[in-house]
């Protein structure tokens, strides 16, 4: 992978920039960045796979739904993720987009996992999804409410 992520300056929340050679890879790095805010990912073992499928009317809503679904699983089941794979993002015949992917993680354990910053929600604030055809990359930016 040639993708990655970085944190940008923001006054109150966490501003993320993620990128990848494909849109799918950029979405994977966006999820990685979100969970990196929450804990030290090197200490999270990808023991159990969760299949993730979301649909939305546009790519911005799809990014939101992808990240919120992962955050929902963490909040409801206590699963912290460290590995992500977006198999495909497709344009639906009925309109909008669909994402099919996986996330691997394990139950959060305060004795093993550092408790980072709590992510309350994904926001549409400053959200951008840009295809940089010259560089052959997709860049995603978004803000996490902490």
pLDDT tens, position by position, 21-57: 999 999 999 999 999 999 999 999 999 999 999 999 9
Cα angle at 142 between 137 and 143, to 5 degrees? 155
Contact at 8 Å (CB) between 82 and 104?
A: yes
Domains observed in the chain: 15-145 (3.55.10.10)
Report d(CA 22, CA 71) in Å as an integer: 23
Q: 53 pairs with which residues across the strands?
A: 100
Residues of the chain with pLDDT under 50: none
Q: Is the dihedral angle over the CA atoms 51, 36, 13, 136 positive or is it negative?
A: negative
Identify the burial level of 13 via C-beta atoms within 10 angstroms of its C-beta, where 0-12 means exposed, 13-18 middle and 19 or more buried: middle
Residue 135 pLDDT: 87
Task: Return phi, psi of residue 77, to 5°.
Answer: -115, -5
């Amino acid at each position: 992978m040639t993708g990655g992520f970085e944190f940008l300056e923001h006054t109150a929340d966490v501003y993320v920039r993620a990128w990848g050679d494909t849109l799918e890879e950029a979405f994977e790095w966006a999820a990685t960045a979100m969970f990196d805010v929450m804990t030290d990912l090197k200490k999270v073992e990808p023991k159990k796979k969760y299949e993730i499928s979301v649909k939305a009317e546009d790519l911005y809503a799809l990014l939101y739904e992808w990240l919120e679904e992962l955050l929902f699983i963490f909040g409801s089941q206590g699963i912290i993720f460290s590995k992500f794979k977006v198999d495909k993002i497709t344009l639906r015949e009925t309109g909008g987009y669909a994402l099919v992917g996986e996330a691997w993680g394990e139950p959060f354990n305060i004795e093993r996992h550092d408790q980072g910053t709590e992510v309350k929600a994904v926001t549409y604030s400053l959200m951008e999804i840009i295809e940089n055809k010259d560089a052959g990359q997709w860049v995603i930016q978004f803000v996490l409410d902490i």
